Amino acid sequence: MACGHALIVLSIVSKQLDSKKMSNKPPQQSRPLDSLRRRLARSRDMLRVFATQVMIGGDRKTRDRLFRFLGQAEGADFIYANRGPERYLVHSKDAVIGREVFLSGQFDFDKVESAIKLVAHHTGRTDVEILLDIGANIGTVCVPAVARGLVKRAIAIEPDPTNCRLLRINALLNRVEAKVAIFESALGDTAGAP
């Protein structure tokens, strides 16, 4: 799974480095181009080692630095995160939910899990039929709840188009798309309310 992170990082850095190389130079100036190609290959190798180390066992601080780097990189709008039991595609500019999912693999799901267990304890019911996730963002509540079998089905409502697309992708990545009904909509007491 760490390979996915390394490939995304390599792809971004390669694009940035490729955009700087001199591809239209005449043949007599091939030595600078060869030198640049060698440096690019070394950079890719070093980055591959770094990214693999970070993804497999990197500490939180190092992963955070990588997230911030990718957030500033041109063409790195989305990052694949597979830190916990679920996999997510997160927005690289999301300094709250996306960042936390990239760093730890979840965003506040432990609280949701505790709430579901508490309800089950007090009601005596261990099977939760449906979860209503209003403001579902990228699916950090409904996706793991269904994937881990804490609920049978979920309805996810998310008004932001980008987050809704990520929610759909994350449901697919975790093979729960058939059990999570997703609606790109806002809920409020009046039509058109902010």
Q: Please name the helix (run of DSSP H) or strand (run of DSSP E) that holds residue 182, with its range, or none.
A: strand 180-183
Rounded average pLDDT per 10-residue block, the chain, 194 residues: 45 50 49 68 62 63 83 82 89 92 90 88 86 96 95 96 96 96 89 64
Give the CA distances from residue 48 to residues 41, 83, 122, 125, in Å, rounded to whole numbers and listed in that order. 10, 18, 50, 48
pLDDT value, residue 109: 92
Which residue type occupies 127?
D
3 state DSSP class of 78: strand
Say which CATH superfamily domain 109-183 falls into: Vaccinia Virus protein VP39 (3.40.50.150)
- Angstrom distance (rounded) from CA 164 to CA 181: 12
pTM of this structure:
0.70
Listed by start position, the domains of the chain span: 2-76, 109-183
Helix and strand totals (H; E) in the chain: 7, 5
